[in-house]
Amino acid sequence: MAAVKYRRRIDAAGDDPYDAEAWRGLFRAIAGGRVEALERLYDLAAGRVYGLAAWRLGSAEDAADVTHDVFVRVAESADRLREVDDPRAWLLAVTHRLAVDHARRRRRHRTTPLEDHVFFEVDVSHRVERIAVTAVLARLPDKQREAIFLHHFAGCTFAEVGRITGVPTFTAASRYRLGLNKLRAILEGES
């Protein structure tokens, strides 16, 4: 029952629920050179892509750059899109790799202050909560934040999180649990 209740939170990244067959159709259309399919894919997937980049990098500007690069990469890889079995995982894996490369190039350190709107939508009614949780998330390692976003907001299983980030399933689950536990401990300690 807890699993059912939890799964209703999937795809809370502001996108439509994930429909693998529809996305594969879009990939095939993009492979055929159809521009409107690219636009539709952006509307379906940009929330997850941007969110992952933002949670990994801790910067709205960097997340925008990575999102831009992801969709350019989609277009450049159009010929190979027909062979992609799981478009969401493919897109998020590309996002992960580009975010890691971007972080290396920018050499962003953890001490860089994060904007309070990086991780969450600006919502006046939950401003205090947003600022508090953002401050705590900023203290987590990038990999744990990334795992939390992928599993909690992007609706990925731990196996998918592992494939996207290039680690075993157990490692992905550990990162998620450690991050969440640390988050709760800090929030409860401060409250």
Partner 1 sequence: MTDDHEPFGALRPATPPAALRDRALAAARAALATRPASPDVWTRVARNRAVRFGWAAVVAALALAHVVVSLPKPATRARAAVVSPRLGSGSAPELAPLVRMAAIDPAARGAGSGRSPADKENGS
The HSE-up count of residue 118 (CA atoms within 13 Å, CB side) is 26
In the complex, minimum distance from the CB of residue 44 to partner 1, in angstroms, rounded to a whole number: 12
List all residues 6 or more positions away from 94 whose beta carbon is below 8 Å from its beta carbon: 70, 73, 74
Q: Which is nearer to partner 1, 29 or 89 (CB)?
A: 29
The HSE-up count of residue 150 (CA atoms within 13 Å, CB side) is 33
Q: Which is nearer to partner 1, 95 or 107 (CB)?
A: 95
In the complex, minimum distance from the CB of residue 168 to partner 1, in angstroms, rounded to a whole number: 21
Q: Which is nearer to partner 1, 2 or 107 (CB)?
A: 2
In the complex, minimum distance from the CB of residue 22 to partner 1, in angstroms, rounded to a whole number: 19
Length of the chain: 191
In the complex, minimum distance from the CB of residue 107 to partner 1, in angstroms, rounded to a whole number: 23
Other C-beta atoms closer than 10 Å to the C-beta of 67 total 24
Q: Which is nearer to partner 1, 119 or 143 (CB)?
A: 119
Contact between residue 96 and residue 51 where contact means Cβ atoms under 8 Å apart: no
Residues that bind partner 1 in the complex, under the rule CB under 8 A: 2, 6, 9, 12-14, 30-33, 35, 38-39, 42, 46-47, 49-51, 54-55, 60, 63-64, 67-68, 70-72, 74-76, 78-79, 117-121, 123, 126, 129-130, 133, 149, 152-153, 180, 183-184, 187
In the complex, minimum distance from the CB of residue 42 to partner 1, in angstroms, rounded to a whole number: 6
DSSP state of 181: H
Q: Which is nearer to partner 1, 70 or 89 (CB)?
A: 70
Token pair in block for residue 31: 């492979």
In the complex, minimum distance from the CB of residue 19 to partner 1, in angstroms, rounded to a whole number: 19
DSSP state of 112: S
- Quickly tell me which residue has 């975010």 as its tokens: 99
DSSP state of 19: -
Return d(Cα 145, Cα 106) in angstroms, integer: 19
Q: Which is nearer to partner 1, 107 or 128 (CB)?
A: 128
